[in-house]
Amino acid sequence: MPNKHLSVIIVPHTKTSTRTLCFSRKMLKSLVIGGIVLAVALLAMLVDYARMNVIRGRYRALKAETAEQKSAIAGYERSITELQAKISSLESYAKKLNVMAGLKSPDILTSPAGVGGGGPETDEPEPSGQPGQVPLQGGGPQIINPGTIQNLSQKAQSIESNLNSLLSFFESDRLRLATTPSIMPTAGWISSVFGHRNDPFTGSWVMHWGLDISTNTGNPIMVTADGIVIKVITDRYLGKNVTVSHGNGYTTVYGHMSNFAVKAGQKVKRRDVIGYVGQTGKAAGPHVHYEVWKDGKRIDPRNFLLEE
């Protein structure tokens, strides 16, 4: 039986002769199958290309979303850090207010350093006319370290409640507030704190009973609360020094003055000038030696510095 074939006649538009292409049945079947395979392969490639385009689009969108989320998270972390710092500052401020109100007592760590001399290195001397009593005692500062916004919120609410209580207290006790030490006695920098240190003159490990504030000679020294000047004297330790009684068990001492600006028995208001910075007495440089007494015991003046 002769093989069947397909003839394709090509008739050009020109006057050239026609052309005839002959395909056997087998060849035709092969061409059809090859065309189908090629079409399927092309279709598969198009589908895969379209799918990859979709995946790339999703990837770009996820990448952009991830970058935005990272930026937002970094912003949240900065905000939380700032909130922690603000809450810590508010808590510290509230603690000082509690000390002033007599609702809590301080127990703040101090560091040994300084350049000035205080009084004689005795265990616990008292100024004249001040009976010795039991010193303040109480809990120390707490470290705020919340791990979540909820903890921060709870801490803020606690501080807010405490400050509201303090506000009510101080509104009803303005006289006590006016007579409680609360400011720096002069503009300068703290060169020695309350606590043990190496004496700048002897090198011995001794207790420093006050706060040294270094500044220029002649700068004014202000009284830190309302009161009455009870002593204006000169001695070999504090040089020219002034003692002010504020009532409610509070007394403050200001040493190493160059000159006095008040007299014993004089009434003074907070920020009144009582003397001028000098280097009299046991002092390695011009500064103010500042002490705060409560019920006959010397305590850390930093607990009362609401304005530094």
Which of 14-23, 236-245, 258-267, 297-306 has the least mean pLDDT? 14-23
Q: Which residues are 276's β-sheet partners?
A: 220, 259
The alpha carbon torsion through 19, 23, 28, 30 (nearest 10 deg) reads: -110
Is 81 within a domain? no
pLDDT over 60 (residue 123): no
Give the pTM.
Answer: 0.47
Take residue 5 and report the two structure tokens written for it.
Answer: 């074939």
Residues 99, 105, 111, 112: what is their CA dihedral angle, to the nearest 10 degrees?
Answer: 100
Q: How far apart are CA 138 and CA 133, in angstroms?
A: 16
3-state helix, strand, coil in the chain (%, to 5): 35, 25, 40
Residue 194 lies in a domain: yes
Mean pLDDT value across residues 27-56: 87
Scan for tokens 């850090």, then name that residue: 81
Q: Does residue 93 fall inside a structural domain?
A: no
Number of domains in the chain: 2
Distance CA 250, CA 192 (A): 22
Domain boundary among 64, 88, 105: 64
Give domain status of residue 155, yes or no. no
Domain boundary among 49, 64, 79: 64
* Residue 96 within any structural domain of the chain: no
Residue of 214, 231, 307 lying closest to 268 (CA atoms): 231
Q: What is the CATH number of the domain that holds 199?
A: 2.70.70.10
Answer whether residue 276 is part of any domain. yes
179 and 60, same domain (yes or no): no
Q: Which of 24-28, 30-34, 271-275, 297-301 has the lowest mean pLDDT?
A: 24-28
Among 13, 48, 64, where does a domain finish?
64
Average pLDDT of the segment spanning 142-153: 58
Residue 138: pLDDT above 80?
Answer: no
Which of 3-7, 31-35, 141-145, 284-288 holds the top average pLDDT?
284-288
What is the model's pLDDT at position 270?
94
> Which pLDDT band, with edges at 50, 70 and 90, does 30 fall under?
confident
Burial class (CB in 10 A: 0-12, 13-18, 19+), 182: middle
Q: What is the pLDDT of residue 143?
A: 38
Q: How far apart are CA 70 and CA 203, in angstroms?
A: 55
Q: Which region among 72-81, 107-116, 161-170 has the lowest average model confidence (pLDDT)?
A: 107-116
Average pLDDT over residues 238-258: 95
Residue type, 50: A
* 55 in a structural domain: yes
Evaluate whether residue 60 is within a structural domain: yes
Q: To the nearest 10°, the Cα dihedral for 290, 89, 109, 164?
A: 80
* pLDDT per position as a tens digit, 189-199: 998 898 888 77
Domain range holding 204?
Answer: 174-304
Who wins on pLDDT, 8 or 165? Answer: 165
- Residue partners of 10: CB distance under 8 A and separation at least 6: 18, 19, 20, 21
272 pLDDT more than 90: yes
